């Protein structure tokens, strides 16, 4: 049971509902932690605005950003984050095989070297950020310019911080059964597109 209250999407404050296009009950899982944020509609709207700013101004591919988000969600043990997939990422070539590759990204044949470098950076930021060193940045620079590295860092920072918060809220009640278990992983079946 969730540790914080959640608001039914049909009862979102008008400004939040407008910003989200008036989501219905069928979209509950795809909203991730927003039903909890909706307890404070002003903060929920700020989170939505910030996320849209990161996504809207992104230069990195949607597939790469979604793979990174899911890998961080796994480290955070954020089951509500793991249960959704970005439609934009799916349209950008992310499929179930790529998601399954997140279990062991360095060994994956279907991930690019750029994706592996981004995922390695995400792993460190999510688990041992002070271990990031010059060699990690040299690896990133083989695939990304400085602006892309900053964008990647902002994306990972958003995912680490807000994902850890959402994980502590234990927002699993509306999730498919595969994501309710403590040992859920992004490569579990039963995800919802957002």
Listed range (46-55, 108-117, 119-128, 147-156) with the worst mean pLDDT? 46-55
CATH for 60-193? 1.20.1290.10
pLDDT at 61: 96
Q: List CB contacts of 113: < 8 A, sequence separation 6 or more.
A: 142, 143
Q: In this prediction, what percent of the chain has a pLDDT beyond 70?
A: 87
Of 12, 41, 39, give the one whose Cα is nearest residue 25: 12
Confidence at residue 67, expressed as pLDDT on a 0 to 100 scale: 94
Q: What integer best gives the mean pLDDT of the chain?
A: 86
Task: Say if residues 89 and 66 touch (Cβ distance below 8 Å).
Answer: yes
Where in the chain are the domains?
Answer: 60-193
Predicted structure pTM score: 0.83
pLDDT of residue 132: 96
Split at pLDDT 50, 70, 90, the class of 22 is very high
């Amino acid at each position: 049971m969730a540790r914080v209250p959640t608001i039914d999407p049909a009862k979102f404050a008008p400004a939040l509902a407008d910003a989200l296009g008036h989501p219905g009950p069928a979209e509950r899982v795809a909203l991730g932690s927003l039903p909890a944020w909706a307890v404070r509609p002003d903060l929920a709207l700020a989170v939505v605005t910030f996320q849209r700013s990161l996504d809207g101004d992104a230069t990195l591919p949607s597939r790469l950003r979604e793979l990174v988000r899911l890998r961080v969600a796994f480290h955070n043990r954020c089951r509500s984050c793991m249960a959704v997939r970005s439609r934009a990422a799916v349209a950008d070539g992310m499929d179930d095989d790529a998601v399954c590759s997140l279990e062991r990204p360095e060994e994956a044949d279907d991930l690019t070297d750029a994706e592996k470098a981004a995922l390695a950076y995400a792993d460190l930021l999510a688990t041992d950020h002070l271990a990031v060193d010059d060699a990690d940045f040299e690896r990133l620079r083989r695939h990304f310019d400085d602006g892309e590295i900053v964008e990647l860092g902002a994306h990972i920072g958003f995912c680490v911080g807000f994902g850890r918060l959402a994980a502590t809220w234990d927002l699993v009640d509306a999730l498919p059964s595969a994501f309710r278990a403590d040992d859920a992983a992004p490569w579990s079946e039963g995800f919802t597109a957002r």
